[in-house]
Structure 1
Amino acid sequence: MGTIVNGANGGFKGKAGSIIGSSWKSINYIKGLYKKRTKPLTEAQLIQQEKFKLLMRFLLPINFLIKIGFGRKGMDRQTPINAAFQFNLENVISGVYPDFELDYSKVSISTGTLYGGGTVGVSHDTGELTYVWSTEANELLETFADDLVYVLAYHAGQDEFVTSQVSSTRADGTVTFGLPEHLQTGSVHTWMFLSNRMKTRLSKSVYLGEVQLI
């Protein structure tokens, strides 16, 4: 049985007949009950469904970073993971249905106006990845020594992500971390972005390239 929240003019919550009332982030919604599909999906629907699965399968395991990188975008209307999905959808998927694939060089794991890491790079040596960036801080650009740095590596062959377990700052200029033994062959795709200490300002993520391992 449904209830009216905050009086006769308030939002509707619960089930009443064929409709359901709910709210999210103080926004009230009314929707119809789910109806079992009897018609087969069209080709356009199948294409969108396949794109959705491919992109969300990539983003969901790194939701802990997406919550930071897209935590400020559309925060009053959608979740960070949905914001990241919408931001990437039109740019990162290539190929022809059903053989879609991700263009990792176009994937964004953060967006914002904070100045990034300047001259950045990544290298590999004996099972370890080393990321480097500029340590220069500029008060005029509102960049500071304690800005936080986030790094990410993705091993497409094993479908696994790796990141540093150590928190790094702009002042550090570098971070090195080891790859698990089963990820030390093949290649990894790499990214980096920064935030201020309060995580209220973000830089655009930078794709650092595909690093060949052994």
Structure 2
Amino acid sequence: MGVIRRGANGGFKGKAGSVIGSSWKSIDYIKGLYKKRTKPATEEQLMQQAKFTLLMRFLLPLKVFIRIGYGQRKTDTHTPMNVAFQENLDRTIAGDYPDYTLDYSQVRIAEGYSGGTTESATAVDGVLTVTWDTVQNTMYEQKEDDLMYIVLYHPGIDQFLTAPTPPQRADGTVDITLPNHFQTGQGHVWLFTADRKGRNVSRSVYLGEVALA
């Protein structure tokens, strides 16, 4: 795919001969028409496709979080989802083809400063409790009204859960009531913070695997 930097006629949209013109974020692109594959995919291509499918299937439901967590990264030429996908691809895929799995401890849903605070997550009697340090680090411009974004993933039912309303840093803790179908097996929990404008964002922290039963 090519990028139109300048030209007598500027960018264009639609099909013109063997190329298609389009634009995104005021950048004009041209790309060739799709060509139907005539050769079977190689094993290496199948391996890459399997990795792409596994990771993207996991990340897509997290789009609202990734938009905040990666919203400040390469926004001129890449979407937050593009950046999150590329930065997670090399470190999160485990196992051998075709039995790839995700290493949840390596997944990041936000990238930013690393504050080194203390966080924890436990589940008792159908309630997930997440706690964090309320001390504000001025080096990272933390504030008491920073929002705490919490994600729980249950691989057994392939569903995500979060707090109905993001708590604030000053709260120090939040209780999330688990639906009945979440109260079984194990879950994985992540947490990251962002200011009210979503500009000062922390790196997401993996809080570990939590027994939900």
Class of the TM-score when normalised by the shorter of the 2 chains: over 0.9
1:115–1:143 CA contact under 8 A, matched in 2 = no
> Which amino acid is the alignment partner of residue 72 of structure 2?
R
Tell me the SS of whatever aligns to 1:99. Answer: coil
Mind listing any 5+ residue stretches in structure 2 that lack a counterpart? none
Provide Cα deviations, 1:101-157, integer angstroms capped at 9, x if missing partner. Answer: 0000000000012636x1110111101100000111133431110111000100000
Aligned to 2:120: 121
Deviation at 1:179, TM superposition (A): 1.0
> Which amino acid is the alignment partner of residue 195 of structure 1?
A
Is 1:108 aligned to residue 86 of structure 2?
A: no
Provide Cα deviations, 1:185-204, integer angstroms capped at 9, x if missing partner. Answer: 10100000001121111100
Write the mapping of 1:139-178 to structure 2, written as runs, cut at 5 A: 139-178=138-177
2:150–2:166 CA contact under 8 A, matched in 1 = no
Whole-Å Cα distance in 2 between the matches of residues 187 and 124 of structure 1?
10
Whole-Å Cα distance in 2 between the matches of residues 138 and 109 of structure 1?
22
Aligned to 1:52: 52
> Which amino acid is the alignment partner of residue 110 of structure 1?
A
Aligned to 2:31: 31
What is the number of residues matched between the two proteins?
209
TM-score by length of 2: 0.94
Whole-Å Cα distance in 2 between the matches of residues 15 and 168 of structure 1?
49
TM-score by length of 1: 0.93
> Which amino acid is the alignment partner of residue 201 of structure 1?
N
State the Cα RMSD in Å: 1.6
Aligned to 2:186: 187
Mind listing any 5+ residue stretches in structure 1 that lack a counterpart? none
Provide Cα deviations, 1:34-84, integer angstroms capped at 9, x if missing partner. Answer: 111111111111111000000000000111111111111111111111111
The alpha-carbon distance between structure 1 residues 17 and 123, as it changes in their structure 2 partners (threshold 3 A), is same
Tell me the SS of whatever aligns to 2:95. Answer: strand
